[in-house]
């Protein structure tokens, strides 16, 4: 009995690490938004773009990116990312989609773990862009960008840690649309 107790005590840290690891992995998975319910909008939209880059595909191909500076930066930015998912719908007329469809996304972003970041805006005129982060301690475990306009609905969902400072590098690459995201200048930035 004593030996069994000692063995159990010895393996406890490993078990704890395993449990923590699975919890962290589950949290990272939670950062993936359910967006398939938006697919029916494709019948009404004038243009639809649907991009799905899962972790396996990203990590398998990232190491093969070129050796120039831009590729190295992209590789560094995406090294821990577990997926990039984009759904974008453009419409000819205003209000071709209902608030229910937007709510199906925002309700997920209101759930625990997600926080809306104030301050990140789009330079594009008329763009109404909200950025949400899911954090695990100090680390970002997911990001969502929601662009809701009368003639457009775009959702970008990045699963896994991502450097917010370098987020703009991703615009126009890997299916992430160009949203002209800008962070407000801090006092420190202005002093430079």
Partner 1 sequence: MRTKLTLIALLLTLSCALPFSARANRDGFSDVVKAIEQFYHVKHQSIPFLARTGMKAMRTAAKIKGGEWKRLAEAGSVRVVFFEDQSFDSHGQIASFKASVQRTLGADWSALVQTLSPKDEQQTHIFIREVGQKFNVLVVEIERRDATVVQATVKPEVLAELLKDPGEMGKSLTDEATTADP
Q: List contacts with partner 1 (CB under 8 A).
A: 39-43, 45-54, 56-58, 60-66, 74, 92, 172-175
Q: How far is the CB of 38 from partner 1 (least distance, A)?
A: 10
Query: Which of 87/131 has CB closer to partner 1?
Result: 87
User: Which long-range CB contacts under 8 A does 76-80 form with residues at least 24 apart?
Assistant: 77/162, 77/163, 77/166, 77/169, 77/170, 78/162, 78/170, 78/174, 80/160, 80/161
CB-nearer residue toward partner 1: 113 or 174 = 174
Closest approach, Cβ 46 to partner 1, in A, equals 5
Instruction: Choose between 105 and 120: whose C-beta lies nearer to partner 1.
Output: 105
Smallest distance, partner 1 to C-beta of residue 45, A: 7
> Shortest Cβ distance from residue 53 to partner 1 (Å)?
7
- Could you tell me the smallest distance in angstroms from the CB atom of residue 152 to partner 1? 14
CA dist 163 and 191 (Å) reads 23
Q: Which is nearer to partner 1, 3 or 43 (CB)?
A: 43
Among the listed residues 49, 46, 134, the one whose alpha carbon sits nearest the alpha carbon of residue 85:
49
Pick the closer one to partner 1 by CB: 7 or 46: 46
- Following CA atoms 33, 39, 45, 50 in sequence, which dihedral angle do they give, to the nearest 10 degrees? 60
CA distance 93 to 78: 36
163 contact partners, CB below 8 Å, separation of at least 6: 77
């Amino acid at each position: 009995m004593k030996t069994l107790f000692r063995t159990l005590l010895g393996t406890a840290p490993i078990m704890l690490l395993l449990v923590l690891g699975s919890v962290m992995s589950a949290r990272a998975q939670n950062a993936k938004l359910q967006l398939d319910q938006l697919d029916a909008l494709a019948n009404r939209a004038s243009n639809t773009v649907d991009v799905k880059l899962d972790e396996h595909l990203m990590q398998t191909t990232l190491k093969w990116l070129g050796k120039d500076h831009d590729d190295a930066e992209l590789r560094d930015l995406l090294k821990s990312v577990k997926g990039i998912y984009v759904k974008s719908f453009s419409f000819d007329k205003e209000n071709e989609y209902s608030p229910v469809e937007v709510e199906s996304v925002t309700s997920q972003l209101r759930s625990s773990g997600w926080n809306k970041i104030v301050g990140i805006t789009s330079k594009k005129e008329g763009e109404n862009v909200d950025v949400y982060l899911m954090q695990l301690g100090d680390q970002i475990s997911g990001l969502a960008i929601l662009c809701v306009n009368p003639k457009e609905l775009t959702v970008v969902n990045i699963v896994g840690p991502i450097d917010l400072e370098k987020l703009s590098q991703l615009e126009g690459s890997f299916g992430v649309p160009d949203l002209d995201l800008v962070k407000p200048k801090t006092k420190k930035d202005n002093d430079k």
